[in-house]
Chain A
Amino acid sequence: MSAIDDHLDELFDLLAGNGAAGRRLLAEAEDHLYAAYRDGVATGLSDEDAARRAIEHFGSTRQIVRQLRGTGQPRSRKIRARFLAALSTAWRIAVVVGAAAGLSYLVYGVGVRALLIADPGRNTTCNYQNRSLPWSSSCGGTANVSLVIGAALLTATAVLWLTRRSTLHRTSLPQTTTTFISIVVALSVASALVLTFTGIGILQSFLPSQDRPIGNVNLSAAGVALTIAVVYTSMRIKPLLTHG
């Protein structure tokens, strides 16, 4: 039942950093919610209504986690939890920014390559005012370097994401205590990417017609970064709006 799974995911996020107490509460919540759901279905409720009622009766995840934290934690544990929260936030930002930048570079590299394949004799600039990127003097070389950078960034991002997931399971690294900060930082960096690609793209749109397709490629790369920023923000901001 996806609504219950979503609720459990949210609880998992909030409980991380609470060690054994958090893991235990999560296991009990899972058992409780599914038992309540089964009982609801047995009394004739639809799947959705049974899940909704189970979640409503269970209560707000934040209220539950506040109560758990109120059961008493030593000061050293609170400091450790804050440190881990900061680490977790930095980790999350690296994943979001890496994904946005990696995909943007990949889109740019693929786009330029496609233009060159369609017209091998194309004599065009890959950067505004005929300036090539520092690492390459040709448009094809720029595309290749962008592809390599994009692939490297995406690989690094995937590794970061996977290690973060496994570390979360192993050490109960907290995730959401600094959700707001992670949104702000990730959005800022993604915005910088969007502005860069958009800026170059718009400038190239004013160049002679043969350079306009490159401008469009830049704009597409900006669109990818913008999409990732918007999707990430909408995913993270929902629990903040729901539970304050």
Chain B
Amino acid sequence: MNPRGQLDLLLLAGLQRQQPVHGYALIGSVRELSADAFDLAEGTVYPALRRLESQGWVDSTWDDNSPRPRRLYRLTHAGRQALREKRRDWAGFSVAVNAVVTAPLSADHA
């Protein structure tokens, strides 16, 4: 399953659960919560995080305690608002999709 269309939502939701967090741990958390359901190219998460940062939804700093350079990410206030909106959109979207794919077939098409 490719989560590309909902990657922003997944990352924002992941950040809300655990922050500050570095990219590898964030990806691991999403992978674990989804029971490894997503076919996610992990490297693409970093450009996505940068994009979220340029939108003002995520903030990041270098982790001084790490032996290798790594960024620590956290949600901003705007990011929390964006997450609320995206959750609402997703809820509406999933209800609508569900309604279509689980609608009972009429007798003619059964």
- Interface magnitude class on chain A: 20 to 34
Q: How far is the CA of A59 from the CA of B101 in the complex (A)?
A: 32
Tell yes or no: B87 within 8 A of A by CB: no
Binary contact track B60-72/A, C-beta < 8 Å → 1, others 0: 0000001011110
Q: Are A36 and B24 in contact (CB under 8 A)?
A: yes
**For the complex, is A167 an interface residue (Cβ under 8 Å from B)?**
no
**Is B48 touching A67 in the complex (CB atoms < 8 A)?**
yes
Whether B54 and A72, one on each chain, are in contact in the complex, defined by CB atoms closer than 8 angstroms, is yes
- Interface flag for A28 (CB, 8 Å): yes
Cβ of A60 < 8 Å from any Cβ of B? yes
Which residues of chain A have C-beta atoms less than 8 A from B71's C-beta? 24, 28
For residues 3 through 46 of chain B, which have their beta carbon under 8 Å from a beta carbon of chain A?
A: 22-24, 27, 41-44, 46
Which residue of A29, A30, A71 has the most chain B CB atoms within 10 A of its CB atom? A71
Chain A binding surface SS class: helix
Q: Is A122 an interface residue (CB 8 A)?
A: no
Decide if A31 touches B50 in the complex (CB within 8 Å).
no
Per the bound structure, the CA–CA distance linking A28 and B73 in Å amounts to 12
Complex Cα distance A61/B23, Å? 17
Total CB contacts across the A-B interface at under 8 A: 68
In the bound complex, residues from chain B placing their C-beta under 8 Å from that of A181 are none
Q: Does A32 contact B (CB under 8 A)?
A: yes
User: Do the beta carbons of A71 and B50 come within 8 Å of each other?
Assistant: yes
Within 8 A of B (CB), among A128-167: none
CB distance from B41 to the nearest CB of A (A): 3
- Report chain B residues within 8 Å CB of A64: 41, 43-44, 46-47
**Given contacts A34-B68, A71-B51, is CB(A29)–CB(B46) below 8 Å?**
yes
Known: A32-B24, A35-B24, A36-B24. Contact between A67 and B44, CB under 8 A?
A: yes
The answer to whether B41 touches A30 (Cβ under 8 A) is no
Shortest CB distance B16–A (Å): 21
CB pair B43 A58 closer than 8 Å: yes
| A57 proximal to B (CB < 8 A) | yes
Which chain A residues lie closer than 8 Å to B44 at the CB level?
Answer: 59, 63-64, 67
Mark interface residues in A170-191 (1 if CB within 8 Å of B CB, else 0): 0000000000000000000000
Inter-chain contact B24/A25, CB cutoff 8 Å: no
Is residue A115 contacting chain B, with contact meaning CB distance below 8 A? no
Q: Are A60 and B46 within 8 A (Cβ)?
A: no
List the A side residues contacting B68 at CB < 8 Å.
Answer: 27, 30-31, 34
Min Cβ gap A152→B in Å is: 41
- Across the interface, name the chain B residue whose C-beta is closest to A23: B69
Alpha-carbon separation in the docked complex, A169 to B88 (Å)? 45
A237 CB within 8 Å of chain B: no
Tell me which residues across on chain A come within 8 A of B47, comparing CB atoms.
Answer: 25, 64, 67-68, 70-71
Task: Please list 7 pairs of residues, one from A and one from B, whose beta carbons are closer than 8 Å in the complex, sorted by A's number.
Answer: A27-B70, A30-B69, A31-B22, A31-B24, A35-B24, A59-B43, A63-B41
11 extra interface residue pairs, beta carbon distance < 8 Å, beyond A31-B70, A63-B41: A25-B46, A28-B69, A31-B22, A32-B42, A32-B46, A59-B41, A59-B44, A63-B44, A64-B46, A68-B47, A72-B51
